[in-house]
Amino acid sequence: MSSLNASAPVWTIFAPDRSSEDSLQDQVYAFFRDAIAEGRLRPGQRLPSTRGLARENRLGRGTIAIAFDRLLAEGYIETRPGVGTLVAEDLADLPMVMPPSPGVEPESKFVAEAALPEASGRARSVGALPLHDPAPGPLFLNPGYPAVDAFPFKTWARLASQFWRSEPAQLLGYQDPQGYLPLRIAISEYLRTARGIAATPDRILVTSGSQQAVDLVTRALLEPGDKVCIEDPGYIGLKGAITASGAVLAPAPVDEQGLIVAEARRKGAGTRLAIVTPTHQFPTGAMLSLARRLELLRWAADEDVWLLEDDYDSEFRYEGRPLSALHSLDPDGRVIYAGTFSKVLAPAIRLGYLVAPSRLMPVLRRLRAHVDRHPPIDSQAVLARFIDEGHFGVHVRRMRLLYRERRDALVAALHGEFGPRASPEPPTSGMHLTLALPAGISDVEVSARALAVGVKCPPLSAYCQTATSRSGLLLGFANLDPALAPQVATRLGAVIAGMQTGMADPVSTPQSNTVSI
Amino acid sequence: MSSLNASAPVWTIFAPDRSSEDSLQDQVYAFFRDAIAEGRLRPGQRLPSTRGLARENRLGRGTIAIAFDRLLAEGYIETRPGVGTLVAEDLADLPMVMPPSPGVEPESKFVAEAALPEASGRARSVGALPLHDPAPGPLFLNPGYPAVDAFPFKTWARLASQFWRSEPAQLLGYQDPQGYLPLRIAISEYLRTARGIAATPDRILVTSGSQQAVDLVTRALLEPGDKVCIEDPGYIGLKGAITASGAVLAPAPVDEQGLIVAEARRKGAGTRLAIVTPTHQFPTGAMLSLARRLELLRWAADEDVWLLEDDYDSEFRYEGRPLSALHSLDPDGRVIYAGTFSKVLAPAIRLGYLVAPSRLMPVLRRLRAHVDRHPPIDSQAVLARFIDEGHFGVHVRRMRLLYRERRDALVAALHGEFGPRASPEPPTSGMHLTLALPAGISDVEVSARALAVGVKCPPLSAYCQTATSRSGLLLGFANLDPALAPQVATRLGAVIAGMQTGMADPVSTPQSNTVSI
């Protein structure tokens, strides 16, 4: 490096670094750009000749020339006939240095959300909510988590490869925001045969999963400040999607018949939307009774409430027949039906669907186009083919058997650990059961202690919106290797025994998917 | 069918249809459910025995029993010891028939948006905007539409197949809402080497394309009613994403140096976000000058304006070097940089990215999780591998050569058609050029007439937010087979000649990507 002399021009401190990953011309460019931007070279100041600069730094003249051309093109420098190359004059009145944001390093790690008061109110409200754990361990019992190891990898690989090898150029532009028509046809057929739902493809919109379904519906139908009735306890992820739309939560309690509609009606005057899980209430497992269904539809008609029926896991019924969807009682009225492939196939493929009243579809379709256009075409085409070729039906039946086996293994292990106090009734549907806890024991604390010994299972109280006496552990069995079920039971037994001081009564009223101990 | 007798019980009109696709038990179930729901069977009314009903209809008794079990489970009927099976009593106070929505048929086609006054204000504002055309023909010249026939199908098929055959179970649960880390690392490396942008993977968020980038940024940063500065003319799709977030458009004019920042500043008091295309203004092709860039950053710092730099097609520069991104002048301040793979690969894969100041990332990440969680894992993993193995760099270079060839073919054809009046300067970057029209000729009318002869090219005025003298045709050349370029020119020539009555002067001031005729 040249020695630094106060009267020497600033470029004498430039020294090319031949070991750098940046090219020499990039180094020349960056040096002069920064010197100009930081005011060390002034507007109108003459620059050295490319020849002189090249010689001084033992660089090719072409290297300097390329860097200078770029500075010229970007407006940092200009050439004047008979004078030479100068720092551009029209920067004179402009600030040359942008002050760095206070306290923020360019490469800094995430800072706490509190550090961003500029975020919108809705973004801040979302920021406080929990996120899904992306890295489950072997004893990961989050409810609603399917058997990812049982995914039909080989078939999917074959169909994906077939899709791309067919060179589907005509499908690679912007596609229908309502979803790929062959997939909508396949879903329509599936709904008709498996769920008894009459939904023509023009009433189906393919979503990127249930979370987006809630996002689209709330944004399409609600003004900021509108109320949304949700079940309490209920699915936590709803809160984020609802508050992100600017709407307000109006939780209503659930009993063994599902949502207590009279409570919802009483608490939620001015409600514009109610989100319900009639087939299999999440997380209590209650089935919404017919009387309640009709009461709900009556409320919807009386007070212009939209109903979003979240039918997230109706595929997994182990005994008896699935009930008719709420949607079937009101197919083109105020019920919007949401299904997902996250539970039946896998969350990471990000596909689901809405069945909406026909008058609502143009609004949803256009909103979706402007939100993110459509799901990737390959995912949609592969799934359509997967359903059409019959693999989907086979997979659902396989998973139903697998989950029943896993349910039985977990129930047996819990009975083995907790003895005759444990209720003999395993859940007849779904992907999790609720373990009731002895009175006086905090489910939050049990959950935390269980995590410390490697068992991940959330407390029921975490799904409650309001103060409640509900307590328990949610144990998802769909992704649990049956061989590991005894370990789960033993570890939970040890945790609970360590907290117990003679208490024995279960704390909750029995629910349809609850194992009491 | 049994003959209908006023005093006969309602079930005597039931007749199984053995040619139906519905099972016999489903037919029994549906008949009784409907009869109860419609009030033809009253609460407490006794039902026939399964034996009698089976005999009468020549059905198996098991068929009837299954149907009745379902009705029982759903609460339509109940059994009473010593009495038999009755229509359920607790439906007495409930309405049994839901009135159909007035004027809506269950299978009806889309109705006009005006028919849904219940839609939210933001959804209605979005509804008025144009959608992309999902079905282009051969002479489809929409700007920004890449060469979908040149997609790297074989490589993509191989990588997709490899991904699924590796049985990546651990990647099939809910994944990082910020995006798959290997993809973020690949994007980071690409930005560093190709664009000179220093962005560590923790400052990159993978989006489902630019449309979602705008949606996330507006929702994360804006309150309803906040102003967003957009370029005029500019990309139409912004309007929908912005209004869907409840924000208000504040268009500011563009000249040959790009956005006139002083106008934006003057018009947009109270602006919280400005969305700009500094590298290559869409659709005029202007490059934002350095003076304007610094002015823009000064404005952002002075008045707390966020800047969203949409760098949608910087890969396609045919002469000279690409300019530094605006982001590079303010890497962790108020500039959010958005890139997309829609132009370089294909729109239908739905992948893009944001580079955001580190303090903003936690907010964007959490909002994204609650909006739609993350893009499908397979798309992300395949693209990451595609970049890592060097295919992406090769593809970009191939497309750059291909698009230059297509540009040259279109320019030559236009010169051939319109003669020496056509400007000799083809655009030095991007995927479209603007054909200026003789004074007094409506570009909307030319576009409509061109469409009638099979040439799809939008009018420039359609991209204008405010009344303006700008007029012209946008001709995207990236997806145009060079052999068809003469046809495009000939047909446009005929259309324009048919409208011309002696007018010859070009109407617009020349723009960097304009061909005057």
3-state secondary structure of A141: coil
- The partner residue sitting opposite A244, judged by closest CB among B164, B360, B367, is B367
Q: Considering only CA atoms, which of A319, A259, A269 is closest in space to residue A294?
A: A259
- Of the two residues B481 and A500, the one the predictor is more confident about is B481
Q: Is the pLDDT of residue A408 over 70?
A: yes
**pLDDT score of A508:** 37
Length of chain B: 517
Residue-by-residue DSSP string for A88-105: -GGGTTS-S-PPPPTT--
Verify whether the Cβ–Cβ distance B74 to A323 is below 8 Å. Answer: yes
**Is the domain B2-87 a CATH 1.10.10.10 member?**
yes
Whether the ω angle into residue B16 lies within 30 degrees of 0, i.e. cis, is no
Judged against a pLDDT cut of 60, whether residue A163 lies above it is answered with yes
- Please answer whether residues A122 and A116 qualify as being in contact, where contact means their C-beta atoms are separated by less than 8 angstroms: no
Rounded to the nearest 5°, which phi and psi values hold at B225? 95, -15
What is the distance in angstroms between the Cα of A232 and the nearest Cα belonging to chain B? 19
Give chain A's largest Cα–Cα span: 101
Look at residue B115 and tell me whether its pLDDT is greater than 70. no
- Average pLDDT taken over every residue of chain B: 85
Q: B361, A110: Cβ pair inside 8 Å?
A: yes
Is the model's pLDDT at B113 over the cut of 50?
A: no
Q: Is the pLDDT of residue A504 over 50?
A: no
Burial zone of B185 (CB within 10 Å; 0-12 exposed, 13-18 middle, 19+ buried): middle
Q: How far apart are the first and last CA of chain B?
A: 77
Rg of chain A over CA atoms, in angstroms? 31
Better pLDDT: A197 or A331: A197
Rounded to whole angstroms, the Cα distance separating B474 from B477 reads 10
* Residue B56 CB contacts under 8 Å (≥ 6 apart), including other chains: B12, B48
Question: Cα(A182)–Cα(A389) distance, rounded to whole angstroms?
Answer: 12
Res A218: pLDDT: 95
Query: Would you say residue B136 has pLDDT above 90?
Result: no
- Closest by CA to A440, choosing from A495, A503, A497, is A503
| Tens-place pLDDT, residues B68-90 | 887 876 678 888 877 788 888 87
Q: Per-residue pLDDT for B126 more than 70? A: yes
Radius of gyration of chain B (CA): 31
A161, B160: Cβ pair inside 8 Å?
Answer: yes
- For residue A134, pLDDT over 60 is answered with no
Pairing of strands A432-435, A473-476: antiparallel
A363, B113: Cβ pair inside 8 Å?
yes
Strand partners, B273: B228, B306
Task: Search chain B and give the residue with CA nearest A373.
Answer: B211
Nearest to B366 among A131, A295, A324 (CB): A131
Interface predicted TM-score (ipTM): 0.79
φ/ψ of residue A134, rounded to 5: -80, -5
Inter-chain contact B373–A362, Cβ cutoff 8 Å?
A: no
Token pair 């070009």 is at which residue? B506
Question: What is the crossing angle of helices B485-499 and B443-452, to 10°?
Answer: 130
Q: Where are the domains of chain B?
A: 2-87, 167-389, 394-508
Considering only CB atoms, which chain B residues are within 8 Å of A104?
332, 357-359
- Whether B167-389 shares its CATH topology with B394-508 is answered no
- How confident is the model at residue A125, as a pLDDT? 78
Is the CB of B118 less than 8 angstroms away from the CB of A304?
yes
Rounded to the nearest angstrom, the minimum Cα separation between A94 and chain B is 7
Chain A, window 42-81: residues with a beta carbon less than 8 angstroms from a chain B beta carbon: 66, 69-70, 73-76
Q: Which residue has the higher pLDDT, B241 or A425?
A: B241
Going through B312-430 in order, the beta strands assigned E by DSSP cover 335-340, 352-355
What amino acid occupies position A208? Answer: S
Per-position DSSP letters for B275-344, written without gaps between them:
EE--SS-TTT-PPPPHHHHHHHHHHHHHHT-EEEEE--STT-B-SS-PPPPHHHHSTTTTEEEEEESTTT
Q: How far is C-alpha A458 from the geometric centre of its chain's CA atoms?
A: 18
Count CB neighbours of B193 within 10 A: 12
Residues 6 or more apart from A271 whose CB is under 8 A from it?
A226, A227, A228, A229, A250, A264, A303, A305
Reduce the DSSP state of residue B46 to 3 states and report it. Answer: strand
Residue B320 has pLDDT above 80, yes or no: no
Provide the 3-class DSSP secondary structure of residue A85.
strand
First and final C-alpha spacing in chain A: 77
Contact A296, A326 (CB under 8 A): yes
Does this model's pTM top 0.90? My answer is: no
Tell me how far apart the alpha carbons of residues A311 and A84 are, in angstroms, rounded to a whole number.
74
Interface membership of A90 toward B (CB under 8 Å): yes
DSSP at B4: P
Residue range A279-291, pLDDT digits in tens:
999 999 999 999 9
Distance from the Cα of B422 to chain A's closest Cα (Å) equals 26
In the predicted structure, residue B112 carries a pLDDT above the cut 70: no
Beta bridge pairs of residue B195: none
Cβ contact (<8 Å) for A98 and B333? Answer: yes
CA A90, A92, A96, A99 torsion-angle sign: negative
B173:A215 CB<8 A:
no
What's the rounded Cα separation, in Å, for the pair A268 and A260?
12
Rounded to 10 deg, the angle between the A361-371 and B237-244 helix axes is 110
Mutate to test the interface with B, among A25, A159, A359 (most CBs of B within 10 A): A359
Phi, psi (degrees; rounded to nearest 5) at B276: -130, 155
pLDDT for B163 beyond 90: yes
Residues 411-470 of A with CB under 8 A from B: none
Cβ contact A363–B26 (<8 Å): no
Mutant choice from A22, A345, A373 vs B, greatest count of B C-beta within 10 A: A373
- Between chains, do B212 and A112 touch, taking CB under 8 Å as contact? no
How does residue B403 score in pLDDT terms, banded at 50, 70 and 90?
very high
Please report where in the chains the tokens 């490589």 appear, as a residue. B155
* 3-state SS string for A33-76: HHHHHCCCCCCCCECCCHHHHHHHCCCCHHHHHHHHHHHHHCCC
The pLDDT assigned to A1 comes to 37
- Between A122, A173, A202, which is nearest B134 by CB? A173
The distance of A226 to chain B (nearest Cα, Å) reads: 10
Asked if B258 contacts B289 with a C-beta cutoff of 8 angstroms, the reply is: yes
Position B444 pLDDT exceeds 80: yes
Q: Are strands B306-310 and B271-276 parallel, antiparallel or unpaired?
A: parallel
Give the residue from B333, B381, B389, B396 showing the smallest Cα distance to B184.
Answer: B381
Minimum Cα–Cα distance from A332: chain B residue: B106
Yes or no, beta carbons of A148 and B169 under 8 Å apart: yes
Give which of A366, A368, A380, A391 to mutate to test B binding, by max B Cβ within 10 Å: A366
Contacts of B112 in chain A (CB under 8 A): 362
> Pick from B105, B304, B321: which is nearest to A118 by CB?
B304
Tokens linked to A149: 């190891």
Residue ranges of E strands in A362-490: 432-435, 473-476
Partner-chain residue, chosen from A120, A149, A170, that has the shortest CB–CB distance to B220: A120
Question: Regarding beta strands A77-80 and A84-87, do their DSSP bridges make them parallel or antiparallel, or are they unpaired?
Answer: antiparallel
- Chain B contact for A156, CB < 8 A? yes
Most confident of B2-16, B41-55, B269-283: B269-283
Q: How far apart are CA B300 and CA B304, in angstroms?
A: 5
- B39 touches A at CB < 8 Å: no
Closest CA to B225 of B271, B257, B261, B174: B271
User: What residues in B contact A177, CB-CB < 8 Å?
Assistant: 131
**Residue among A25, A69, A26 nearest A47 (CA):** A69
Q: Which residue has the tokens 């549907």?
A: A429
Judged by CB atoms closer than 8 Å, whether chains meet at A123 and B359 is answered as no
- Identify the closest residue of chain A to B67 by CA–CA distance: A321
The CATH architecture that domain B394-508 belongs to is Alpha-Beta Complex (3.90)
Q: How far apart are CA A135 and CA B442, in angstroms?
A: 58
Beta bridge partners of B341: none
Indicate the helix (H) or strand (E) that contains B414.
helix B391-418
DSSP state of B82: T
In chain B, residues with a C-beta closer than 8 Å to the C-beta of A161 are 157-158, 160-161
Between strands A227-232 and A271-276, the pairing is parallel
Mutate to test the interface with B, among A110, A151, A174 (most CBs of B within 10 A): A174
Yes or no, beta carbons of B377 and A172 under 8 Å apart: no
Tokens of A128: 């406080």
- Band of the pLDDT at A128, cuts 50, 70, 90? low
Q: Taking residues A146-175, what's their average pLDDT?
A: 95
Which residues from A are below 8 Å from B216, CB to CB? none
> Looking up tokens 């980038």, which residue turns up?
B213
Which whole number is the average pLDDT over A122-140? 68
Residues in chain A: 517
CA distance B488 to chain A (A): 20
More confident residue, B123 or A148: A148
Search chain A and give the residue with CA nearest B147: A169
Of these ranges, A173-177, A240-244, A373-377, B120-124, the one predicted with the greatest mean pLDDT is: A373-377
The encoded tokens of residue B337 equal: 């940089």
Q: Chain B, 162-221: which have a CB under 8 Å from a chain A CB?
A: 163-165, 167, 169-177, 196, 198, 200, 202, 208-209, 211-212, 215, 219-221
Find, in chain B, the residue whose alpha carbon is nearest to that of A209: B372
Residue of A nearest to B247 (CA): A120
**Closest Cα in chain B, distance from residue A474 (Å):** 18
Q: How far is A116 from chain B (nearest CA, A)?
A: 7
pLDDT band with cut points at 50, 70 and 90 for residue B105:
very low
Question: Shortest CB distance from A177 goes to which of B131, B244, B329?
Answer: B131
Lookup: tokens for B430:
């991007």
What pLDDT is recorded for position A501? 60
Give the model's confidence band at A136: pLDDT under 50 very low, under 70 low, under 90 confident, else very high: low
CATH number of A167-389: 3.40.640.10
Query: Cβ of B348 and A101 within 8 Å?
Result: no
Provide the token pair at B340.
Answer: 């997309």
Higher-pLDDT residue of B509, B48: B48
| pLDDT tens-digit readout, A249-274 | 999 999 999 999 999 999 878 899 99
Burial class (CB in 10 A: 0-12, 13-18, 19+), A167: middle
User: Is residue A511 very low, low, confident or very high in pLDDT (cuts 50, 70, 90)?
Assistant: low
Show residues of chain A in contact with B209, CB under 8 Å.
372-373
Tell me, yes or no, if B366 comes closer than 8 A to chain A by beta carbon.
yes
Query: By the CB < 8 Å criterion, does B131 face chain A?
Result: yes
Q: Are A205 and A181 in contact (CB under 8 A)?
A: no
Confidence of residue A131 (pLDDT cuts 50, 70, 90): low
**A-to-B residue pairs, Cβ atoms closer than 8 angstroms:** 407
> For residue range B215-272, what is the model confidence (pLDDT) as tens digits?
999 999 999 899 999 999 999 889 888 988 889 999 999 999 999 999 999 987 889 9
Give the tens place of pLDDT for each residue, A437-492. Answer: 888 899 999 999 999 999 999 999 989 988 666 889 999 999 999 999 999 999 99
Q: How many CA atoms lie within 13 A of B104 on its CB side?
A: 22
pLDDT reported for residue B514: 67
